[in-house]
Structure 1
Amino acid sequence: MTDHSFMPQVEVLSVTDTGRRRRWTDAEKLRIVEESYSAPRMAAATARRHAISRSLLTRWRREARQGRLSAPESEMHFAPVAITANADQRAETERGDACSGRFEIVLQNGRRLLADASLEASALARLVQILERA
């Protein structure tokens, strides 16, 4: 008679053996999120390209909007700028008060920052980052 074993052979695969669980740095997440915004309807294609689920990309996009994904402090980012003259600025120009050396920055979240022209660029960059996250 053959020897039968009632104990089934089980092979245990950990998550690291299959390679499915990956660790993404905030910088990598931001790069993928920025890529997904590069053109309309690119979220699904970007998720497929990086082999992640669309729901994970959606979560990363939400975290980026809320300021919970942050790039390293050393990285500098450029933002689109539009110079406009509104009614208050025109009134100041007519009165001669516009030479005060102040400017206003309107952030994407709607906050406004009125700063003096003598403010250092590094201090201004820190203020903008703080106000964007708040």
Structure 2
Amino acid sequence: MGQITVFSGPERRRRWSDEERLQILAEAFSPGACVADVCRRHDISTSLIYTWRGKLREVHADAECSSTNGPGFAEAVMLEGDGERHSHMAPAIVVDLGRGKQVSIFAAASPEQVTAALKALR
């Protein structure tokens, strides 16, 4: 008589809808969440979560590239002296570039300008 082995557990080739993927991604990357814990709850590998996130970023990057007409300029302010900042001109974001260099992004800058400036720094 032959031997039969029965594997129990979830089916390995599961199909996830876009809504399910987005819900799992939102859960995994919410503040204070642990990706490994979310993966265990949904019985998926951590690499799958990062693959989904990468594909989602590619889709959004392609959409942003097609929607922009071209490069833009971000508002820049040169401060002379010891770098003293005035309270009415306080930047919303300061990026330290090293060697004492900084890039300041002000609240008046549009999201497209900020995106272009940060992509240029890569």
Normalising by structure 2, what TM-score?
0.42
Normalising by structure 1, what TM-score?
0.39
**Structure having the higher Rg:** 1
